[in-house]
Every structure is written in C-alpha cells, then in structure tokens.
A and B are shown apart, each in its own frame.
Chain A
Amino acid sequence: MELCSFLTLDSFITDPLTHEFMRKALLMSSLVAAVCGFLSSFLTLKGWALMGDAVSHSVMPGVVVAYALGLPFSLGAFIFGVGSVALIGFIKQKSRVKEDTVIGLVFTGFFALGIVLVSKIKSNIDLHSILFGSPLGISLSDVKQTIFISLLVVILLSIFRKDLMLYCFDPRHAKTVGINVFFLHYLLLTCLSLAAVVGLQSVGIILVVAMLITPGATAYLLTDKFDNMTVISVLSAIISSLIGIYVSFWFDLETGGSIVLAQTFIFLFAFLFAPRYGIFKLRKLFDGYK
C-alpha cells in the first residue's frame, strides 16, 4: 500500500502532512535546524567543532537530572553545558594537559555521568530518545520550550552578528577597539549550549554536533560572503531536516540519523561540485566553455 503512494511525488509530500505528529515534527525540526544552522556559520569559522561536540555531550546529565526532578530539561542541559565549558577552561589553565585532551576527557566524563544516572534513576526516562532524538514524539511543553529558546538564540545572534563575526575573524582587533571580547566569548558559548539543547530533540545528543557544524561547513564551500554563508547554512539545515523526516517516514528509518545523513549528503555534494571550492571546480569548467 505504501509503495503505491510513491507513484506520485504529490502524495509523497502531502500524505505525511495528514498526521498531526508529522506536521509538528516538520515544523519543530525546521525551527531547530534554522537555529543550529545560523549558529553553525560562526562555529565553523571559529573552529569550535570539538567544543560543539563537548558541550552537546556534556548536557546529558543535566537532561537526566531535570527529567528526574520534573524541571524543564533545557534548564538542566544549559547548566551542564556551560559548566562543562567552565571546567574545560579551568583544567586547561591549571594543568599542563593540552586543550583537545582536556575537552575530550571532560565531555566523556559528563556523558558517562549521564549514562550512569539514567541507570540509577529508574524513572520513565527514555534513554533512546535522549541519545537519538525523537522529533516525532515531541510534547507540547517541549514545543513551547523549543520555540522560546530558538527565538532567544536567533535574537541574540542577530543583534551581535557583526561583533561575533569580528570576534571569530580577529579577536585582537575587537579588543583593541574596545569591544568586550570576554562577553562575546561567553555569548557564543551560551548560544552553543542553548542550540545543543534544542538540537538534541531532533537528532539526539550523539548527533547534535552534526547540526552545529555540517551546515556551516557546507555553506563555507559555497560562498565567500559571510551573510550568504549564514543564509546557505540555514537553508541547507532546514532542507536536510525536511528530507530526513520524510525519508524516515516512508522507509521507517531512525529520524535523527536520517536528518544528519541528509546533511552529510548535501555536504558531500558541495564538496564535489561547489563552483569554486569543490573537487570538480565547476566554475572553471563553465569558464572554459565560454
């Protein structure tokens, strides 16, 4: 029966929309993708991929504790996300261990704590949905939280867009002309924690870092203008989310994994065929035919 629906593209797209949970999943995942995509252009330029990985894994115990205590899970996640970064900074400063090692050991420590807590607190925590995301089973209170956090991040990034760009590009100049670099550093970290919190609902803790770096990396291959990069990053993130959810619906696949795979394929496409920076440098080909 399902196979029949494939005969028309129209029903491929519209059929899932008849389900309430699918409409909600598509909308919420697009919103989350847009937020992560926006932030992604800053993170990839700043070189914070590993930091994104660290923060997103470190929120695990926060989510578990919040669930157990009946608090908004974003609050717990946020505290542990920022806490992990503070701890990374502290250990790095007070020891001779190199930064990437510190990052690796702190986030795995936090993540392990989360897993141990889940096994101890035998409440109705769905480990699977935390680890792999559950965009199809998102609750109403989660929807409200997600919308609130998403708007907050988008507003913050929009207001400080130019300062953050300068901070990523040349923090020394920023400091020299009296811009508060300390504030921008923590602003970006705060946005990172918040984006990780909303992102994990779509694709889960393990894969949320993909939402934070892949769209930016894709966009980086396609343009030399920062504003365009942001737009492309957001669009590719949204498109991947939609593709991922549809594909997972029709083929009964894990949704989070499908979304991230869609992002990866879009990146690979850009990697191969980007006009200027792709492997096949299509631009040169066109120029040759002129």
Chain B
Amino acid sequence: METINYQNFRIEAENICVDYNGKVALYDANLRLKPGQICGLVGMNGAGKTTFFNALTGFVNISKGKIRINGESVRSAQKDQTIAYVPQNEGIDSQFPISVWDVVMMGRYGSMNIFRCPRESDVQAVKDAIERVDLTDHLSTPIGNLSGGQRKRTFLARAIAQRASILLLDEPFSGVDIRTEKLISELFIQFKNEGKTILLSTHDMIHVREFCDLVLLINKTVVAYGETSEVFTPENITTTFGGISPDFLFGPES
C-alpha cells in the first residue's frame, strides 16, 4: 500500500481554460485535492463538469493554465495509470458486444504489452475487482443485458482493476438501484481509507452532503469551492444554477 503524504496534492488545477473551436467551455478554474478527499462537482448541464473531467484525463487540451497530477503532467499520469474515469451510463454504447469481464479487463490495458495479453496478475486484478462490486455471477454477461446499476458497477470495477489513485465519476448515482447505491457508498468509504482521491459530479444534493468532504460549484468557472459544510449553502447553489432557488430545483431543504 502506498504511503499517504498529505503535504502533496493529488490534483492541482490552476486557472485552467478549455475552449472548443473558440467557444469557451470552462475558464479560470482551480481545484486542489489531497489523497483521501472526496469532492463533489456540482453545476448545471453545460456548466463544464464533463469538460473539467476531460481536461483532467487529457481527453481535451487546456488552452490556458496548468494541471498537475501527483505533481506531474497529465501525460505521465496517463502512463502511470493514475486516473480512472467512470462514465455516466448514457455516455457508453450499452449495445456494444462486450462482456463484463472484457470491460473490466480494459482497466488493465494501459499496463499490458502492445498485444494486450493478460498476465496472471491482470486476471487476478480483474477477478478481485469484479468481486468487490458483486458481479461475480455475471462475468460473461454482455453489458447490454445488465441493469443500469450493474452496468455502473462494471465500470467501477474497471476503475478498481486499473488500481488508479484518482477516480473521476460522472453521475455515479444516476439511474442506479438501491443496492448499487449502497454498494457504491460503501466503496467510497473504502477508497477514502485507501487514500484514493475521488471527484464526482452529481445532480443529487443529498449525495453531496452525505459523501463529499469538499464541493466545487461550477458554472463555466468556479462559483465556490471549499468544505461542504461551509460552501454548500442555498445562496451558492442558487448562483450556480443561474438564479433558480434550490428549493425549486430539489424540493424544500431539509
């Protein structure tokens, strides 16, 4: 197990900007996360949540600013298998002819040889990961035959098999059953204890209060960032969602 050094940041994003063909999707965004921290990323559709993830994984290039992952570049983070991305269910082709086992094995591709031949250790990592998300009965099930929750767990298992120290999760709780939701929240606690850093986007305000140490409210840029108890206020949420009150959006606050 790796040693947790709380002096160092896992993720450091400084004034990053992303634009697509001149259209600004995100500007002057900052984020710093340490090992063992869980941060919620909250914003409207089109507020730049997915863009933020894409910038951190290197899927899009930033036009300004700096990103450091474990003190190194995004490129070397990719090579070191540091970041795992768990897509939202809508983001993948559920009719793709591929089994649970094969999806989870894809988590190992980055550390295999060019022909992607699984070694003993890869097979073991995949087995363990599938066991942790409780899908051992579905090893060869095509992902098209899974429920939304099972599919979500499959991609979580891929992230586990990858042994990444940073997990980016796009809407991990949307469209999942109670059982999956419980399993994911248990996994979050384990990940935290293992010193992994988690950044998750969500629409669900209750989940933010429940899991997230920190919250990052964005609307093209950072609206507010800090400890959930301090930052996650009705005023900030209203600003994030363009003036619409959280009561209207999510029902009366508890």
| A residues whose Cβ falls under 8 Å from a Cβ of B | 45, 93, 159, 162-163, 165-166, 168-179, 220, 223-226, 228-229
Within 8 A of A (CB), among B54-81: 54, 57-59, 75, 78-81
Contacts of A163 in B (CB 8 A): 109, 116
**A254 vs B99: C-alpha distance in the bound complex, in angstroms?**
42
Instruction: Kindly list chain B residues whose C-beta atoms are within 8 Å of the C-beta of A176.
Output: 57-59, 78, 83-85
Closest approach, in angstroms, between the C-beta of B78 and any C-beta of chain A?
Answer: 4
Tell me the residues in window 93-129 of chain B with beta carbons closer than 8 Å to chain A beta carbons: 93, 96-99, 102, 106-107, 109-110, 114-116
Q: Can you report 7 residue pairs joining A to B where beta carbons are below 8 Å apart?
A: A162-B109, A162-B116, A171-B59, A176-B58, A177-B162, A178-B80, A226-B98
Among A93, A177, A223, point to the contact of B110 (Cβ < 8 A): A177
CB-contacts of B29-76 with A (<8 A): 54, 57-59, 75
User: A175-B58, A176-B85 known; A169 and B109 CB under 8 Å?
Assistant: no
Find chain A residues with CB under 8 A from B80 CB: 178
Q: Whole-angstrom distance between the alpha carbons of A93 and B54 in the complex?
A: 19
Interface residues on B, range: 20 to 34
Once the chains are docked, how many angstroms separate the CA of A171 from the CA of B80? 18
Complex CA–CA separation, A166 to B93 (angstroms): 12
Within the complex, the shortest CB–CB distance from A171 to chain B, in Å, comes to 8
State the 7 A-B residue pairs at the shortest beta-carbon distance, nearest first. A177-B110, A178-B78, A224-B142, A162-B116, A176-B57, A178-B79, A176-B85
Beta-carbon contacts under 8 Å, B204-224 to A: none
B148 within 8 A of A: no
Q: Which residues of A contact B102 (CB under 8 A)?
A: 226
How distant is the Cα of A226 from the Cα of B79 in the complex, in angstroms? 27
Q: How far does the Cβ of B33 sit from chain A's closest Cβ, in whole Å?
A: 17
Q: Which residues of A contact B84 (CB under 8 A)?
A: 176
Nearest-neighbor residue (CB-CB) of B54 within chain A? A172
CB-defined contacts of A165 to chain B, threshold 8 Å: 98
Report the Cα distance A225→B107, complex, angstroms.
18
CA distance A220 to B145 in the complex (A): 15
Residue from the list B59, B83, B97, B114 in contact with A226, Cβ < 8 A: B97
- CA of A178 to CA of B83 in the docked complex: distance in angstroms? 10
Question: Contacting B97 at CB < 8 Å: which of A171, A178, A224?
Answer: A224
Chain B residues near A228 (CB, 8 Å)?
Answer: 97
Pick from B54, B106, B142: contact of A173, CB under 8 Å: B106
What residues of A have a CB within 8 angstroms of the CB of B175 in the complex? none
Roughly how many angstroms separate A165 CA and B162 CA in the complex, as a whole number? Answer: 18
B99 contacts A225, CB within 8 Å? Answer: yes
CB distance from A222 to the nearest CB of B (A): 10
Residues B78 and A175 in contact, CB atoms below 8 Å apart: yes
Chain B nearest CB: distance from A38 CB in Å?
Answer: 15
Which residues of B lie under 8 Å from residue A220 when comparing CB positions?
Answer: 97
Distance A182 CA – B59 CA, assembled complex (angstroms): 11
